[in-house]
Amino acid sequence: MTADQLTTTQPPSAIPPATSDLLSDVIAGLSSDPRTLPCKYFYDEQGAALFQKICELPEYYITRTEIDILSRYHAEIASQIGPNVELIGLGTGAGTKTRILIEALDKPAVYIPVDISEKQLRKSTAVFQKIFPNLEILPVCADYLQPVVLPSPRREAARNVVYFPGSTIGNFEPNEALEFLRRIANVSGRGGGLLIGADLQKDQNVIEAAYNDSAGVTAEFNLNLLAHINRKTGANFDLNQWQHRAIYNSEAGRIEMYLISQADQTVRIQDREFHFRAGERILTEHSYKHTPEGFISLAGKAGFDFVKLWTDDARLFGVFYFVTAM
């Protein structure tokens, strides 16, 4: 999203990303070295439902900790954001955290959720329209990693505030995170803000347990990526021949999630064949864990001034508020 793409259009229809985009992304990722698959395709209908289950697992501290922070400090956060804002939510999913935020805000002008999952977006929008009948809600089904044209609200807002929860920023390589934050700064504009969640660095065992839960839900979530690709492209991944594993890379400061081939095998995707050796890995996601100082510095390079950090007592997770540098 760039400033020149924020045109005064009517809300676009909720159309999911084209299958051709998925196909080209998958082929490019499997042709690379090391092999990868884009984590944005986790969130089909089944993937979104599985992620909701992950958020409720005892090992997965991220979601409940972020919700606790928002619940404890919602009044302070709303005071910093101010009244009459255009709230732009990126990948807000079911909207549990966004609801806490909106309930605390002073007369928000409009809420624009942007999400890749059409069903999730429709469901959460319907719920929010019932809870906040006087709030204009303009959902946009799109991949926010790509240029997005935002709709024009009826009411003029005092400022734009982008809300990016869930520590999704950790999925970006550092240089990609910097570029993405720069684009957010363009969207928020002069006097605008960014409220963003970031997972903080902590004991390796705590991190690895969160991504290798004992119930195996994260493994099912990871394998569902292959099932999604099969359904959309006609690929023939055999899910029984792949195993989930997440490893913390302490040197890079990130968790890495893999699918590991359990045998020598060949996978066909339309007219392409990909050969895998037993033990060969596909990287499906990584998530950087930040220090507060490092993340504030990163946002500063992107054009943001740091305002406030809210965190839990154990400093597992941080909710940061920045304003665009004047």
Number of neighbours of residue 12 by Cβ within 10 angstroms = 15
Give the integer Cα–Cα distance in Å for 297 and 308.
13
Q: The dihedral of CA 279, 282, 284, 288: what is its sign? A: positive
The pLDDT of residue 1 is: 35
The pLDDT of residue 13 is: 38
- Neighbour-count burial for 155-165, b at 16+ CB within 10 Å, e otherwise: eebbbbbbbbb
Q: Which of 137, 107, 134 is nearest to 123 (CA)?
A: 137
The pLDDT of residue 18 is: 41
pTM for the full model? 0.87
Do 253 and 201 form a contact (C-beta atoms < 8 A)? yes
134 Ramachandran zone, left/alpha/beta (phi>0; psi -120 to 50): alpha
Q: Which of 254, 257, 259, 258 is nearest to 204 (CA)?
A: 254
Walking along the chain (326 residues) 10 residues at a time, the average pLDDT comes out as 34 42 94 95 91 94 96 98 97 91 97 89 93 95 85 93 95 95 93 97 97 97 98 96 97 97 97 97 97 98 97 97 90
CATH number of 1-238+288-326: 3.40.50.150
- Exposed (0-12), middle (13-18) or buried (19+): which is 33, by Cβ within 10 Å? exposed
Q: Which residue has the tokens 């569902």?
A: 224
The pLDDT of residue 325 is: 83
- Neighbour-count burial for 118-141, b at 16+ CB within 10 Å, e otherwise: bbbbeebbeebeeeeeebbbbbbb
DSSP β-ladder status, 304-311 and 317-324: antiparallel
The pLDDT of residue 144 is: 86
The pLDDT of residue 45 is: 87
- Please report, for the chain, the start and end positions of each structural domain, with discontinuous segments joined by +: 1-238+288-326
The pLDDT of residue 21 is: 86
